[in-house]
Every structure is written in structure tokens, then in C-alpha cells.
């Protein structure tokens, strides 16, 4: 008989045997930056998460710096929205200004910028719209403009989340031509059309005004197609590929880890965070243990990077 229990006898040997350990550098923490002054708005469905105006950002950036996590991911919320999402690539856009501010005050913080138009378009879709149709090729130049303008502001990494075909190649070419050959692209490659994004859309004011995102984000029934999406993005030049959401898609993540040799990211999304927080607030689960279990599972399944709203709290527990 093999006695597995010998290596589980007490905490000393258990901790020595642990195959997967979380580290602060595993985490990227999403931050919502809103136009205006003196704003720190709680996001109701995401306890502990706020929208900050630039003049109030330092409070959260101090915590990020203190935590020593891998980086932050910025989501800008503009006042002005139009069909072309012009504030996404305006030199003085909210995200551009936030990047410049952070770069200047906190040069040690690694800044990832989400590249997508939905927070900036009046119709709330991730691309250009004609009638009810979300256009693909017509959207690409706008994504390129957004990526280049954020690179010029000082962003460290571009993370396209729009799910238009060909956007990684287009953004790579645009960045290279503008001289940003060293800026990595982390592609939201297997991004599913998911109900788990609900709380984010409140936080980022990015819900689609009509229809849904199913003509560009993936059907959650499809695992094989997810691998093809990832392969295509690697082919187009993605440095890091992502699976999103996390918990209901760990099979996809694991399969990607076994199939590809590029670094993998996973996005532990707003709805996943909200469910944990809601159950914890009711006293129905042990929040700390649940979060540790969830995030460890993501890393065990193959994630190199975990984008999570829990990042700052977790760092306190693991150090
Ligand atoms: C923008 C974007 C979304 C998320 C990240 N980038 C929302 C969406 O696609 O509707 C979701 C993040 C989350 O739920 O935490 N395209
Ligand atoms: Zn979008």
C-alpha cells in the first residue's frame, strides 16, 4: 500500500510538499479611472473596488506599490462617448492622462492597458457599428490608434480585449511602426461571451446599448475553438495569451498550457469576485480560504499571470 498520508502528517511536511505557491508577482490588479475630480466611487457589486479620479489615484497606487504585485491593468471611464470611441485614442483622454500620471509618480509600477473601445463608444460595443452589425476590419485602425497613443503616454504593455479578428497583428505592426518594438502584447485570446462580466460593466460603464457581444466573443460551449483562437494570436505576435473568465474555464487554461509554450494569463473576472464577496458577506463561506483555493487552482491549471480584484488582499495573506 502506498501511504500518501506520510507526506500529509503535519503542516511542516505539507508545506514542503506544496506543488503550487502563490507569489505577489503572479498578480495584476485592475484599476478603474474615471474622469472628474475628487472621486472615489464604490462599485456596488464589487465590494472593495472603486472608481478613482486621477487626483485620488495615489491612495490605491500606494497600496499597489506596497504589495509588490506584478502590475496594474487600467480601465478608463470617459465622460464623452461617441460612435467612434474617440476618447480611447485622444492624447488627453482619461486613460492617457492616468498613464502619464502613474508613470511620473510611480515609475516602478508596471502598467498594462486594456485595449478596447466599449468604454468609449456611445453604443457600448467593442468595435465600429453599422446598423446592428459590429464591423471587424473597420475597427482595427482604431484599436491600433488606441494602443499607440497609450504607448506614447508611457504604458508598459498592451492587452487587446475586443476580440476582433486580426487585431493582434494590426496592433503589433502599428506599435512597431511607431517605434514601440519592445512593448509586449498580452492578448485576450480565448475570451468568452460571459455573464460573469456583469459587475465590470457597471464599474466601467461599458454595457452594450443593443444586442450582446456574441458575434465577437466566444461561445462558452467551445473548447476546441479556444485553442484555435490562442494559436492564431500567437501566430500574429502575441507575447502572452489569456483565457477569460477563469473558474468555469480552467479546462481551457490547462489544455492551453499543455499545447502552447508561451506564457499564459487568466482573468479572474468581476462576476467571480462578486460571487465570493457576496457569499462571504453573508457568512456562508470562509472568504480567505475560498480565494486562496480559487487562485491556487488557476496557477495549478497553468496560469503564469493572474489578473484579479483580490490581488491586494491576497498579498497580505501570503507574505
Ligand atoms: C472590455 C473588457 C471587459 C472585461 C475586461 N475588458 C468587459 C466585456 O468584454 O464586456 C471584463 C472584466 C471583468 O468582468 O472583470 N472589453
Ligand atoms: Zn470591449
| pLDDT tens digits, 185-205 | 999 999 999 999 999 998 999
Predicted model pTM: 0.98
Q: What is the predicted pLDDT for the residue at 319?
A: 84
CB-based burial, 4-42: b 16+ in 10 Å, e otherwise = eeeeeeeeeeeeeeeeeebebebbbbbbbbbbeeebebe
Q: Which residues of the chain have pLDDT under 70?
A: none
Provide the 10 A C-beta neighbour count for residue 284.
Answer: 10
Query: Which numbered ligand comes closest to the C-alpha of 218?
Result: 1
Planar angle of CA 99, 104, 109, nearest 5 degrees: 70
Identify the DSSP state of 26: G
Residues serving a catalytic function are 191, 244
The beta strand positions in 233-287, using DSSP E, are 240-244, 264-268
> d(Cα 213, Cα 219) in Å, to the nearest integer?
10
- What are the angstrom distances between the C-alpha of 239 and each of 82, 226, 269? 31, 17, 21
Distance 204 CA to ligand 2 centre (A): 10
Distance 122 CA to ligand 2 centre (A): 12
Strands 40-42 and 50-52: antiparallel
In testing the pocket of ligand 1, which one of 45, 188, 199, 200 has its CB within 8 Å of the most ligand atoms? 200
Question: Cell triple for residue 42?
Answer: 464604490
Q: Report the Cα 33 to chain-centroid distance in Å.
A: 14
Instruction: Name the closest-CA residue to atom 12, ligand 1.
Output: 269
Which residues are paired to 28 by β-bridges? 71, 307
In testing the pocket of ligand 1, which one of 204, 242, 277 has its CB within 8 Å of the most ligand atoms? 204
Question: Cell triple for residue 164?
Answer: 476582433
Q: What is the predicted pLDDT for the residue at 74?
A: 98
> d(Cα 302, Cα 283) in Å, to the nearest integer?
31
Strands 50-52 and 111-115: unpaired
Give the nearest ligand 1 atom to 217 CA.
9
In testing the pocket of ligand 1, which one of 74, 116, 208 has its CB within 8 Å of the most ligand atoms? 116
Residue of 196, 117, 211 lying closest to 161 (CA atoms):
117
Ligand 1 neighbours (beta carbon < 6 A): 114, 116, 118, 126, 161, 197, 200-201, 206, 213, 269-270
The residue with cell 491612495 is: 59
Distance 203 CA to ligand 1 centre (A): 10
Contact 122, 206 (CB under 8 A): no
Amino acid at each position: 500500500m502506498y501511504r500518501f498520508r506520510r507526506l500529509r502528517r503535519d503542516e511542516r511536511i505539507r508545506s514542503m510538499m506544496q506543488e503550487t505557491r502563490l507569489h505577489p508577482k503572479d498578480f495584476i490588479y485592475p484599476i478603474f479611472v474615471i474622469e472628474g475630480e475628487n472621486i472615489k466611487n464604490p462599485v456596488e457589486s464589487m465590494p472593495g473596488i472603486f472608481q478613482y479620479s486621477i487626483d485620488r489615484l495615489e491612495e490605491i497606487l500606494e497600496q499597489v506599490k506596497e504589495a509588490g504585485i506584478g502590475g496594474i491593468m487600467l480601465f478608463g471611464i470617459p465622460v464623452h462617448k461617441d460612435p467612434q470611441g474617440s476618447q480611447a485614442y485622444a492624447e488627453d483622454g482619461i486613460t492617457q492622462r492616468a498613464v502619464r500620471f502613474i508613470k511620473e509618480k510611480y515609475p516602478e509600477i508596471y502598467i498594462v492597458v486594456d485595449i478596447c473601445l466599449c468604454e468609449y463608444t456611445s453604443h457600448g460595443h467593442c468595435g465600429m457599428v453599422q446598423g446592428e452589425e459590429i464591423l471587424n476590419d473597420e475597427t482595427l485602425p482604431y484599436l491600433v490608434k488606441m494602443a499607440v497613443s497609450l504607448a506614447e503616454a508611457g504604458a508598459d504593455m498592451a492587452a487587446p480585449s475586443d476580440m476582433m479578428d486580426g487585431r493582434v497583428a494590426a496592433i503589433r505592426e502599428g506599435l512597431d511602426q511607431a517605434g514601440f518594438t519592445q512593448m509586449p502584447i498580452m492578448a485576450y485570446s480565448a475570451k468568452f461571451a460571459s455573464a460573469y462580466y456583469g459587475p465590470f460593466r457597471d464599474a466601467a460603464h461599458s454595457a452594450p446599448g443593443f444586442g450582446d457581444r456574441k458575434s465577437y466573443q466566444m461561445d462558452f460551449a467551445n473548447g476546441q475553438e479556444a485553442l484555435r483562437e490562442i494559436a492564431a494570436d500567437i501566430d500574429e505576435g502575441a507575447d502572452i495569451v489569456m483565457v477569460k473568465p477563469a473558474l468555469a474555464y480552467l479546462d481551457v487554461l490547462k489544455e492551453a498550457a499543455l499545447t502552447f509554450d508561451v506564457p499564459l494569463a487568466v482573468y479572474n473576472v468581476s462576476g467571480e469576485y462578486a460571487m465570493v464577496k457576496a457569499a462571504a458577506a453573508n457568512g456562508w463561506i470562509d472568504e480567505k480560504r475560498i480565494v486562496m483555493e480559487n487562485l491556487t487552482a488557476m496557477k495549478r491549471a497553468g496560469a503564469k499571470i493572474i489578473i484579479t480584484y483580490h490581488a491586494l488582499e491576497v498579498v497580505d495573506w501570503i507574505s
